[in-house]
Amino acid sequence: MPRRRPGRWDAVPEQHGRRFVVTGASGGLGLETARVLAARGAEVVLAVRDVRKGDRVASELPGAVEVRRLDVADLSSVRAFAADIGPVDVLVNNAGVLAVPYRLTADGFETHLATNHLGHFALANLMLPGIRDRVVVVSSHSHRAGVVDLDDLNWERRRYQPYAAYASSKLANLLFLAELQRRLTAAGSELRAVGAHPGSTATAITGNTGSAVKTWVGDWGHRLAGMPVWKGALTTLYAATVDVPGNTFVGPDGLLEMRGWPTAVGRSRDAIDPDLARGLWRRSEELTGTRFPLDT
């Protein structure tokens, strides 16, 4: 049997008796995360926009898999899902969009803000009373280029730049992670919030940029320089199943965190700014109409 390279981790623990919700689980990293969890004995809920596509991929997965409709960009869908899901051990906030053209969701929010941050913010707070272990927040190394402008979250005053909007939403993910853990600790809760990013992974996330050139460059860039999906999903699986402290951020251990095996990684100075995190939390509460449910 070949010896393991030091630092390599791909041995996901057994998950029998545990229930997971994975958003955006009909393809890419979400589907691979769900596949591995189900193979390790977990009950997995695929939370997807397209139920027919979800049913197709679920039919090929091992174990106990359930498909439920969830559009994280639509707060009415988020509320309906949370009201009916019941207890879970782990919520994996994975669904996301990257560098899409400017448009507003049904709730009037810019698409990156709505999909990558606000929908998952609301979902976690609504589900929190029924979560038994942790919330996993999937961010990106691109958060380092992000700027969260609390006075212009919706990109109404600034010139819209798709990649900048994406990076800002990924920074918002980490600010949410830090503030959620702070609130859990202050409330005396044993729940934890853990973050992850997949480095450069060959998924189809660049497929909705609205530009054939950008889509092609992004797709082939990830294929040539990035990891296969099975390996890119390991950071999320690590964050979801390994006993790590709250507010841990997991990423690849290689050069620039683009490739490699899961390990705890750092984050930008803005991502650990407590005032910015609290300010974003307040604005997110106002915009979604949801609150941290464990406040006394």
Q: How far apart are CA 170 and CA 163, in angstroms?
A: 11
Asked if residue 210 has pLDDT above 80, the reply is no
> Is residue 184 very low, low, confident or very high in pLDDT (cuts 50, 70, 90)?
very high
Residue 203, pLDDT above cutoff 90: no
User: How many residues are recorded in the chain?
Assistant: 296
- What's the average model confidence in pLDDT over 226-247? 96
30-83 pLDDT, tens digit each: 999 999 999 999 999 999 999 999 999 999 999 999 999 999 999 999 999 999
Active site residues: 166
Residue 283 confidence (pLDDT): 98
- Choice among 1-15, 147-161, 277-291 with the minimum mean pLDDT: 1-15
CA distance 47 to 30: 9
Over residues 115-139, the pLDDT tens digits come to 999 999 999 999 999 999 999 999 9
Whole-prediction pTM: 0.92
pLDDT of residue 5: 59
pLDDT above 90: residue 211: no
Mean pLDDT of the chain: 92
Strand segments, DSSP code E, in 172-284 are 192-196, 249-252, 262-264
214 — pLDDT class (breaks 50, 70, 90): very low
* pLDDT score for 202: 76
pLDDT higher for 1 or 224?
224
Interval 243-256: pLDDT, tens = 999 999 999 999 99
Domains in the chain, CATH or no CATH each: 19-287 (3.40.50.720)
What torsion, rounded to 10 degrees, do the Cα atoms 271, 272, 278, 283 define? 0
pLDDT in tens, 269-293: 999 999 999 999 999 999 999 999 9
> Does residue 6 carry a pLDDT above 70?
no
Q: What is the mean pLDDT of residues 109-116?
A: 98
Q: Could you give the CA distance from residue 265 to residue 292 in angstroms, rounded to a whole number?
A: 27
DSSP state of 15: -
pLDDT of residue 295: 78
